[in-house]
A = this chain, B = another copy of it.
């Protein structure tokens, strides 16, 4: 049994707390959140206690932390947890600033603590199966990756103001997915971006629609398309083209029901958003972290992966500004 303190009692925190409770291998001791009502509610639900950062990190029985608080607190909490000797599960992004990411990674490294970054999509059973089949040689050498990643709707403009921009907030998952599927680091990146969903997005200096291309040193290519709006729900698909074939993983639907009537043959829209689509991925992700810490296995996603995604987001932003391919 691994004993946890969790920072953050919001939407994603609620998921992790519930998965901890159901895992059978972990125990949630503390919840810390500036919103004490939310903290108390979540703590009560899972038999945990509300406390502050100091108490949580000072308790020697706490072996690991989940950092699911607001982005600007991630790096400091990770550093403090590392210094306190806790294994770290940190939501993405580590920080919006690469400098602070690097400071965080240095501190964690110095403390020799394992740090996992929550790229939950790697644990989606369909995406994981694509990766496994690539590894098994099903399509030969990977040549091109195409990632479609579209949210059902625009977040509040207030959120966008502090999000770090679409690349850091949204594409960051796709950057990680691209690196993971390519099996190589992108060496160059180029991006176009537009504001097509809502002019208010442009007013806060962000984009809501982007298309990115990347190239690795050996010439492998990847494309990402993002939109902050998809009328039909959360669109999350990947394609990997290799020398011997193609792997696709598509959306998931609530049911398999198909209706044929006088108008069309119609089936369910995709699961609406990340809470539904990646429910299983979140469960497996946390179980994998717990298993790795308990059994001293290598982490399948590391702080370094978190850093590389930020590097790509910064480069994409630079390409958007300059109209040039940015070398990495």
Contact = CB atoms under 8 A, between A and B. Distances in A.
A28 to B, nearest CB: 16
Contact of A244 (B261, B266, B270): B261
B192 A215 contact: yes
Contact of A146 (B141, B225, B245): B225
Interface in A220-265: 220-223, 225, 227, 229-232, 235, 239, 241, 243-265
Q: How many copies does the complex hold?
A: 4
Given A143-B209, A248-B257, A231 B262 contact: yes
B259 A247 contact: yes
Interface stretch (A7-15, A47-55, A63-71, A126-134): A126-134
Given A138-B259, A252-B256, A256-B126, A190 B215 contact: no
A225 to B, nearest CB: 6
B262 A244 contact: yes
A34 interface: no
Interface in A186-202: 188, 190, 192, 194-197
A83 interface: no
A220 B193 CA distance: 9
Nearest to A124: B255
A187 B122 CA distance: 36
Given A143-B197, A211-B221, 7 more contacts: A129-B257, A138-B259, A192-B221, A223-B225, A245-B261, A249-B256, A260-B270
